[in-house]
Amino acid sequence: MTRFEMAQYIFSDFGIQITKDETKKPQPSLIDKNHAIQEALERELQRAKKELSAIKKAHKVGRCNADEVFDYEWRVHEIKTQLDAIKRGDIDTTEFE
């Protein structure tokens, strides 16, 4: 008698039923997504403000021109606009998934 036959004889009373696991991970709510996006934008805003400060100092010394300073100021303005839109609820954050 082979091991397989022996195991088959010993466990002949058992039945195996295979079912698909239907549990799903809970999807984060829209509020959680908005909060995560808002936090990421706030971090980006802080970084952009630091870069703007550094580029303003470089402009005073003469290492860069006014156009570069304007570009950094514009980036800070864009991030603030996006943050305000999220806070008001004007932006559909499902597009960021």
Predicted TM-score of the model (pTM): 0.62
Confidence at residue 16, expressed as pLDDT on a 0 to 100 scale: 65
What are the structure tokens assigned to 33, written together? Answer: 């997504």
- Residue 44 is predicted with a pLDDT of 96
Label residue 64 exposed, middle or buried (CB < 10 Å: 0-12, 13-18, 19+).
middle
In angstroms, the Cα distances linking 50 to 28, 40, 53, 64, 72 are 32, 16, 5, 16, 10
d(CA 38, CA 82): 9
Q: Are 8 and 16 in contact (CB under 8 A)?
A: no
CA–CA separation, 70 and 73 (whole Å): 5
Instruction: Give pLDDT tens digits for 38-96.
Output: 899 999 999 999 999 999 999 999 999 999 999 999 999 999 999 998 888 776 655 55
Q: Which of 82, 84, 51 is nearest to 68 (CA)?
A: 51
